[in-house]
Amino acid sequence: MITITKKEEIVFNQIKIFHFEYDEGIPENLIKMELGIYEHELKEILTELANKNLIIHENKKIKLKDIDKEIATVDSKKEALKAELDVKEEKSLEIIKKLVDENNIVPRYILEGNLLYGELKLSDFRMYHIILSLENKNLIKKTEKNDGEYYMLLE
């Protein structure tokens, strides 16, 4: 699921309206004039939409990407980041479930390696934030053995 703000949704919906009329891409100025927003605000929104793989934004032209993902709308960027983190936590938990052994334990280095370099490709900061959040929600627990640090899946 992709989470976007209400402003991003307004711009995205306008792009969907003009999508069929412009084969080479929708002129950026057309969206700006149609919605009556400032250029710097539009550029910021288009960058966010492009980062979320909803559009292609090149040479002041906008193209809609073919997407089959569910899109959720929230009021602010802060809420969008929180919702996105919740999705990342769920995916991280799924990865942990695949990694644990029969005792529901996974070595710390294997867990962190999979979160950093696996399908999620999390940054160091986000990975530690997610692990801490999962610990605070009592879904995982850090444990130590003679041969190193481990995480135990509690659910």
Domain 2-64 = CATH 2.40.360? no
Each residue's pLDDT tens digit, 45-72: 999 999 888 999 999 999 998 777 778 7
Check if 2-64 and 76-153 are the same fold: yes
Q: How far apart are CA 136 and CA 31, in angstroms?
A: 44
Domain ranges of the chain: 2-64, 76-153
Residue 14, pLDDT above cutoff 90:
yes
Each residue's pLDDT tens digit, 114-147: 999 998 888 899 899 999 988 888 889 999 989 9
Each residue's pLDDT tens digit, 71-119: 878 888 777 767 766 788 889 989 999 999 999 999 999 999 999 999 8
pLDDT score, position 86 = 78
> Is the pTM higher than 0.75?
no
Instruction: Dump the DSSP string for the chain.
Output: -EEEEHHHHHHHHHHHHHTTT-SS-EEHHHHHHHHT--HHHHHHHHHHHHHTTSEEEETTEEEE------EEEESSHHHHHHHHHHHHHHHHHHHHHHH--TTSEEEHHHHHHHHHHSSS---HHHHHHHHHHHHHTTSEEEEEETTEEEEEE--
Look at domain 76-153 and name its CATH class. mainly alpha
